[in-house]
């Protein structure tokens, strides 16, 4: 409790409070704009954070993360165009409510539900983070190797309907992670001395998210202006509150555990929350026509999963979403290694981050309810001007890493790769996770084999490692069995099947 109070004191300093406000505003703004998610925003902000302290940077990133989770709901409700893949389910009922003149109520239940779920998720983080850290600190290199392998398998098989595309993304990420001379021998450097230290994750992240997305939008730019449903001041009547508070709690119960799992993400819990509310609702006839429960539950699951994602990130150093992967790279850029020793080595930073989540969540509610009409106006920004600005900041950010023009060439090359991945529906998350965790996984494998004098059996010499391999076996078996069956497409905002590109992590 004393550490938590100290965390609040640190998070409530004027500087950190300012960074929290900036993060929430930026996160909401980019979440509102279709295709520009929190992962891209964090990637663009990575170079900027080099000039500020780690506590301020991470507090701002947490604000961007929470804000982006909420901002995506605005686009889903007003445009029927999810700003994030996790907001696809919200669009099913939210846009129907907006077309019936209830956009204000839909935005209000999304904002309040996000606040409730985020607060409960943060309290669970306070309780679980120290306990999980005490357990995982006893793990050895074989167990960490197994956990990272599980993370690879999980994120590869969890996104999209094509497992092959997931493994292609994983292979590309591992290949990028191998570049350099980390082992004393040059690997995939092509004789270029500038690649001796490897490829900076900032360049890869900015290229894949920002440049790839800008090129994709440029190739599919619509000349027809967007039709935006007008929105008044968000508010909820007594009946809306009565129908929303239980879905908020049930959505939280779905979201937090799924966010904490290695498979990660908010797509599955939001969809499960929607199905739960449809089954339990006293007004099932309204589903598909604008049921408020279909907005309240999924949005709560969305934000609860965002909180749950931080549990494996802080205690194991395992990112389960693209946004968490960028946060991990931000921590490592400061020489901070997330994992079981993080709470012992950097208690002030961890508890300041956990305290700032409540602050960011409160700011999210205070700022977004009155400013909802303003966020809707952001949707009127012309796409050419918007993405031209993104490309400018992407180039500036990549150049500022090493102040070398060579990084701009890499930015363009990986930007084209990002465009190709979107074209063929290849998910981004496995690539980013592989780039970050690939070298760490290699290090754990090397350490385990060095201790055992090359005995491969050491990889399953720990009980946790054996248990993880069993989970991997079950997961692969489930994927194989599911592949033998004819897949049933999940519904989208328009009622049709989910396309792989909708499930690509932005």
What is the full DSSP assignment across 406-421?
Answer: HHHHHHHHHHHHHHHH
Rounded to the nearest 10°, the torsion over CA 405, 411, 416, 420 is: 160
Rounded to the nearest 10°, the torsion over CA 461, 467, 470, 472 is: -100
Q: What is the pTM of this model?
A: 0.71
Average pLDDT over residues 337-341: 78
Which three-class secondary structure state does DSSP give residue 180?
strand
Q: Tally Cβ neighbours within 10 Å of residue 455.
A: 11
Closest CA relative to residue 209, chosen from 383, 365, 334, 387 = 387
Distance CA 274, CA 57 (A): 34
Distance CA 143, CA 136 (A): 9
- Decide if 349 contacts 453 (C-beta within 8 A): no
| DSSP state at residue 302 | H
pLDDT in tens, 10-61: 888 888 888 888 888 888 887 777 666 677 777 777 776 667 788 888 888 8
Closest CA relative to residue 206, chosen from 413, 5, 490 = 413
Q: How far is CA 90 from CA 10, 47, 230, 254, 301, in A?
A: 35, 33, 18, 15, 11
- Decide if 16 contacts 59 (C-beta within 8 A): yes
Closest CA relative to residue 61, chosen from 432, 362, 356, 344 = 356
Confidence at 417, pLDDT banded by 50, 70, 90? very high
Q: Tally Cβ neighbours within 10 Å of residue 6.
A: 15
pLDDT in tens, 356-384: 888 888 888 887 777 777 776 776 777 77
Q: Is the pLDDT of residue 350 over 70?
A: yes
Distance CA 422, CA 31 (A): 19
Closest CA relative to residue 132, chosen from 314, 356, 336, 324 = 314
Q: What tokens were used for 171? A: 């292979």
Q: Is the pLDDT of residue 152 over 70?
A: yes
What per-residue confidence (pLDDT) applies to 130? Answer: 85
Q: Which residue has the tokens 């001007």?
A: 385
Q: How far is CA 166 from CA 147, 151, 178, 317, 490, in A?
A: 18, 13, 19, 21, 18
| DSSP state at residue 198 | -
Q: Is the pLDDT of residue 175 over 70?
A: yes
Which three-class secondary structure state does DSSP give residue 160?
coil
- Decide if 309 contacts 324 (C-beta within 8 A): yes
- State how far Cα 158 lies from the chain centre: 14
- 490/6: higher pLDDT: 6
Percent of the chain whose pLDDT exceeds 90: 3
Rounded to the nearest 10°, the torsion over CA 499, 480, 324, 464 is: 170
Average pLDDT over residues 129-156: 81
According to DSSP, the residues that pair with 491 across neighbouring strands are: 497
Measured between alpha carbons, how far apart are the two ends of the chain, in Å? 37
pLDDT in tens, 91-111: 778 878 888 878 888 888 888
Q: Is the pLDDT of residue 274 over 50?
A: yes
Backbone φ, ψ for residue 166 (5° rounding): -65, -45
Please, what is the average pLDDT of the chain?
A: 78
| DSSP state at residue 341 | T
Q: Of the given ranges (72-86, 262-276, 319-333, 492-506), which has the lowest mean pLDDT?
A: 492-506
Q: Of the given ranges (101-105, 242-246, 302-306, 318-322), which has the lowest mean pLDDT?
A: 318-322
Contacts of 470 (CB under 8 A, 6+ apart): none
Contacts of 329 (CB under 8 A, 6+ apart): 46, 201, 202, 205, 436
- The number of C-alpha atoms within 13 Å of 445 and in the hemisphere containing its C-beta is 11
Q: Is the pLDDT of residue 267 over 60?
A: yes
């Amino acid at each position: 409790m004393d550490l938590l109070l100290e965390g609040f004191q640190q998070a409530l300093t004027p500087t950190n409070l300012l960074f929290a406000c900036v993060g929430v505003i930026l996160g909401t703004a980019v979440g509102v704009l279709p295709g520009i998610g929190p992962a891209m925003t964090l990637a663009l902000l990575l170079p900027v954070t080099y000039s500020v302290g780690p506590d301020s940077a991470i507090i701002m990133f947490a604000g961007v993360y929470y804000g982006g989770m909420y901002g995506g709901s605005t686009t889903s409700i007003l445009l029927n165009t999810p700003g994030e893949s996790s907001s696809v389910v919200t669009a099913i009922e939210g846009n129907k409510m907006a077309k019936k003149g209830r956009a204000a109520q839909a935005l209000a239940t999304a904002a309040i539900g996000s606040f409730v779920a985020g607060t409960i998720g943060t309290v669970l983080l306070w309780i679980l983070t120290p306990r999980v850290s005490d357990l995982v600190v006893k793990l050895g290199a074989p167990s960490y190797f197994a956990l990272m392998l599980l993370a690879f398998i999980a994120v590869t098989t969890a996104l999209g309907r094509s497992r092959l595309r997931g493994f292609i993304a994983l292979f590309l990420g591992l290949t990028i992670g191998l570049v350099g001379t980390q082992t004393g021998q040059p690997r995939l450097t092509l004789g270029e001395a500038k690649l001796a230290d490897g490829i900076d994750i900032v360049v890869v992240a900015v290229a894949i998210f920002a440049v790839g997305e800008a090129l994709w939008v440029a190739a599919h730019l619509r000349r027809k202006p967007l039709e935006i449903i007008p929105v008044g001041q968000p508010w909820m009547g007594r009946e809306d509150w009565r129908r929303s508070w239980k879905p908020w709690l049930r959505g939280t119960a779905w979201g937090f555990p799924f966010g904490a799992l290695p498979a990660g993400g908010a797509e599955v819990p939001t969809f499960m929350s929607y199905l739960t509310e449809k089954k339990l609702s006293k007004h099932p006839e309204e589903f598909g026509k604008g049921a408020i429960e279909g907005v309240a539950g999924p949005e709560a699951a969305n934000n609860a999963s965002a909180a749950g994602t931080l549990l494996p990130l802080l205690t194991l150093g395992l990112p389960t979403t693209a946004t968490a992967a960028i946060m991990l790279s931000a921590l490592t850029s400061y020489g901070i290694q997330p994992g079981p020793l993080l709470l012992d080595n950097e208690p002030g930073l961890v508890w300041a981050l956990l305290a700032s989540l409540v602050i960011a969540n409160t700011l999210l509610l205070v700022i977004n309810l009155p400013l909802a009409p303003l966020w809707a106006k952001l949707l009127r920004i012309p796409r050419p001007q918007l993405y031209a600005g993104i490309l400018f900041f992407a180039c500036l950010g990549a150049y500022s890493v090493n102040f070398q023009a060579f990084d701009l060439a890499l930015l363009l090359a990986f930007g084209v790769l990002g465009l190709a991945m979107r074209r063929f529906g290849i998910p981004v998350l496995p690539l980013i996770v592989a780039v970050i965790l690939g070298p760490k996984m290699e290090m754990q494998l090397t350490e385990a084999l060095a201790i055992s004098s090359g005995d491969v059996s050491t990889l399953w010499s720990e009980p946790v490692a054996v248990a993880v391999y069993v989970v991997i076996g079950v997961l692969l078996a489930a994927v194989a069995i599911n592949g033998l069956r004819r897949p049933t497409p999940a519904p989208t905002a328009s009622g049709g099947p989910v396309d792989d590109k909708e499930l690509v992590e932005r």
